[in-house]
């Protein structure tokens, strides 16, 4: 719709009483700019601050406040109200989550952010409720020795007390589960976690990085935990204890690496040596 010289669709926003008459006229040489661009009234005769309209093509024009109000009534954004609405939207987003450089976001980006942070907050509240409702009692935490000896069961009564904490727990604390060092690494670890009476098979995936050492080849480490997957399983059954004896013949150069591996895996070994 066109009111005067511009269609309302051409105007982004209007600030009423935006600038003093002296400020607006300062440096102006074009006589047309001494008058309202819409009704033609002289700003000095009107005797009030000049309204400023910002066009969508990037330019801005002056007009009297009466003409500015008419555009606003047609649906053009009131700049000052728009600023208040924008700040209110920013405050709503920040209520749920701190966002870096939020002032640089557009209105549409802020609106989408508000939807996302509200969803995150709702999911967090739901998760906390589920965690609270699924807490085991003290009796449930008891663990039989064979589960420790044969399955190396993972149990943390303080920080892993519900199924709904599994992913976050191992994303934050899974780094130390991986065997990484000079010349060896793991990208995936599978373990059994016990939470109260329930058992879960948990698979933790890591991103591995490495660098060359001056001696001994590449040194590997966990750069990040990529994802965690889990499934509930039945309680592991007790295995029949079977023992095996092995005799390994190898050169001195590989002995330390093998012994280090045995120690990490809790494998008993007896050292011996010969020249033949």
Q: Is the residue at 108 inside a domain?
A: yes
Burial annotation 17-41 (CB, 10 A radius, 16+ → b, else e): ebeebeebeeeeeeeebebbbbeee
**127 plus 142 within the same structural domain:** no
Q: In this structure, what token pair is assigned to residue 20? A: 């003093």
pLDDT confidence band for 275 (50 / 70 / 90): low
Shared domain for 54 and 105, answered yes or no, is no
Residues 230, 180, single domain; the answer is yes
Q: Per the structure, how many domains does the chain have? A: 3
Cα separation, 68 vs 17, in Å, equals 9
Residue 246 is encoded by which pair of tokens? Answer: 């092995």
What pLDDT digit, counting tens, does each position of 47-83 carry? 999 998 988 888 888 999 999 988 888 888 888 777 6
User: Is residue 49 one of the residues assigned to a domain?
Assistant: yes
Nearest to 130 by CA among 91, 166, 76, 79: 166
Check whether residue 71 and residue 87 sit in a common domain: no
**Residue at which a domain ends, from 35, 52, 75:** 75
Asked whether residue 206 is assigned to any structural domain, the reply reads yes
Mean pLDDT over 161-182 rounds to 93
For residues 220 and 152, membership in a common domain is answered with yes
Whether 47 is in a domain gets the answer yes
The answer to whether residue 268 sits within a structural domain is no
Residue labelled with tokens 């059994």: 192
Helix (H, G, I), strand (E, B) or coil at 197: coil
Query: Domain check: are 178 and 111 in the same one?
Result: no
Structural tokens at position 172: 């934050």
Look at 144 and 217; give whichever has higher pLDDT: 144
Does 216 lie in the same domain as 172?
A: yes
163 DSSP 8-state letter: G
Residue 273 pLDDT class (50, 70, 90 cuts): low
Residue 116 in this model has a pLDDT that exceeds 80: yes
231 within some domain: yes
> Residues 53, 107: one domain?
no
Phi, psi at residue 59, to the nearest 5°?
A: -95, 170
Where are the strands (E) in 197-271, listed by range? Answer: 198-212, 218-233
Co-location of 19 and 41 in the same domain:
yes
Q: What pTM does this model have? A: 0.57
Share of the chain above pLDDT 90, in %: 42
The predicted model gives 247-255 an average pLDDT of 74
Same domain? For 145 and 236 the reply is yes
My answer on whether 71 and 156 are in the same domain is: no
Per-residue pLDDT at 125: 93
Residue 216 is assigned to a structural domain of this protein: yes
For residue 138, pLDDT beyond 80? yes
Residue 22 lies inside a defined structural domain of this protein: yes
Predicted local distance difference test score (pLDDT) of residue 81:
76
Range(s) of the domain holding residue 235: 138-243
Whether residue 236 sits in one domain with residue 170: yes
């Amino acid at each position: 719709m066109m009111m005067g010289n511009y269609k309302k669709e051409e105007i982004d926003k209007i600030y009423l009483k935006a600038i003093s008459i002296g400020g607006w006229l300062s440096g102006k040489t074009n006589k047309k700019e001494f008058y309202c661009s819409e009704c033609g009234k002289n700003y000095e005769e009107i005797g009030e601050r000049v309204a400023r309209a910002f066009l969508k093509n990037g330019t801005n024009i002056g007009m009297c406040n009466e003409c500015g109000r008419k555009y606003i009534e047609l649906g053009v954004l009131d700049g000052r109200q728009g600023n208040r609405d924008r700040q209110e939207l920013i405050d709503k987003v920040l209520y749920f989550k701190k966002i870096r450089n939020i002032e640089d976001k557009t209105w549409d980006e802020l609106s989408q952010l508000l939807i996302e942070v509200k969803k995150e907050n709702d999911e967090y509240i739901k998760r906390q409720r589920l965690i609270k409702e699924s807490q085991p009692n003290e009796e449930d935490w008891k663990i039989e020795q064979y589960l420790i000896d044969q399955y190396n069961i993972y149990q943390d009564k303080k920080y892993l007390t519900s199924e709904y904490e599994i992913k976050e727990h191992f994303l934050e604390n899974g780094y130390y589960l991986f065997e990484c060092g000079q010349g060896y690494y793991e990208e995936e670890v599978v373990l059994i976690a016990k939470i109260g009476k329930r058992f879960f098979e948990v698979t933790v995936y890591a991103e591995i990085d490495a660098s060359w050492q001056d001696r001994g080849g590449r040194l590997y480490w966990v750069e990040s935990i990529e994802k965690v997957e889990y499934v509930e399983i039945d309680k592991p059954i007790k295995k029949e204890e079977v023992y095996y004896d092995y005799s390994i013949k190898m050169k001195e150069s590989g002995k330390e690496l093998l012994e280090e591996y045995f120690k990490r895996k809790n494998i008993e070994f007896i050292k011996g040596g010969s020249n033949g």
